[in-house]
Structure 1
Amino acid sequence: MRATRFLCIAGTDPSGGAGQSADLKTASALGAYATSVLTAVVAQNTCGVRSVLPLPENVIRAQLDAVFEDIDIDCVKIGMVSDLTTARLIREFIERYRPAHVVLDPVMVAKSGDMLVDREGFHAVRDVLIPIADVITPNLPEAAVLLESDIPASHEEMAALLPGLSVLGADTVVLKGGYLHGETSNDLVHTPQGNHWLEAPRIETRALHGSGCTLASAIAALLPRHDTPIEAIRQAKTYMTQALTAAERLDIGKGQGPVHHFHAWW
């Protein structure tokens, strides 16, 4: 059986825990062959984001050309996109090559609370990229930004956002509930077959850096192996829980450390 061909389109993280670093590690840990296209150089670490430098359109186009012309991509994970030009370029290639699975992590708010995109970046994500995605994976602050609403403070308020998110264009919505409190960390998933609550124990750890990137990449890498999205999403959430459980073993950084992508190997 040939390996799943995974493409991440995202920004960098020199500290190795989020962005493209997390995407490549996750896909590799789950047995997919990982390829990559850089959209931005981000100066960040476990303590926060310092600066973001979007790459020129011709550089991103050359990377997309190089990958898609040579490799039959099965699944794409789109992360940080900060401007309309980049979003439209990515959409052009997705519509031209039609990979079977596209997962969009609408990266707009870092774990540190830093906003990563401006108003143009917001429209790039909501109006250009979500309509071409099969799955989107917003956390609660990102969902609130997308719908221009308040951040939910309960599971009931979280569920109230789902109808608005489901009409933005993606077939499947994974609304992550990690920002809420309680003994469990519950995500709410909308699929064409119905809505599902996915529950997992809440892991008490400060090592949350890159968790959103990791979950989205896990979903993308697993989608080609499952008949329905919910099966891939369940397995991805299990992987995410295990990566969080083992995260303290890494002891990386002075802030919010990374999850342990290779917990099953190291």
Structure 2
Amino acid sequence: MRAPGIVHHRTRRRRALRRRVVWTGGEVLVTVGVLLMLLVVHQLWWTNREARQGAERKVQALEREWERGKSARPRESSPAVEGDGPVSGTPSPGREKQRQTRTGDSEGAANNTSPQPSWSQAYAVLRIPRLGLRVPVAEGVSKQNVLNKGYVGHYKDTQQPGRAGNFALAGHRNTHGEPFRYLNRLRPGDTVTVETEAATFTYVVDRTLPQTSARDGGVIRSVPRSTVRPSYGYTEPGYYITLTTCTPEYTSRYRLVVWGKLRSMRPR
């Protein structure tokens, strides 16, 4: 038979060991929780702060550069020509000719004064008044070199602003500046402007595709039309802009798409 004192001593040691294990486990869980909280703060606050400040500095740098270039060019007396409303349906021959003339003039100006942007280079400014958005546009959709800087990225092999076809862009909806956080708030008739060194292009929001596959390449084609939901999109060539971002928020499973049509071009 074991002595009662020895049994009591071993029981106390086991209880102390269990308390240490529980305490250590609690400390580990608290530490992990703090690290996760810091990670969330970094992703949701710090990356947004850094990206937004960097994007705003880039916008200001582009505007200063363009202003210096404008001051160095000789003044022209010919006034700018603007459109007379959203482009929709089949325009009359007169309006179509006028639109083609504006496009040709702007393309010529862009070709003469702005070389093809280098990969990841910021070369334009996107403005969306309804969202209070002013953000640089860079060539390509690289996360590290473009999107994570708070910029909007231009899809490779889609057209440049103001040219016939589709000027397609992508931007983060959450973290890293989240320029397209509220893209779902855009409505038909809202304006979207793209300013380059050569001209300012104004598009009018025309329609929205609330959700489609991340692999739906049809939405950024020259004549944009969803291959997943074919009832969304267009059937005729035109002058389009496409804005894409992830949906639902805080996921990257699907894509939200907003389309618009070119309304006017104003040379700088």
State the TM-score bracket (shorter-chain normalisation): under 0.3
Q: Which has the larger radius of gyration?
A: 2
TM-score after normalising by structure 1: 0.24
TM-score after normalising by structure 2: 0.24
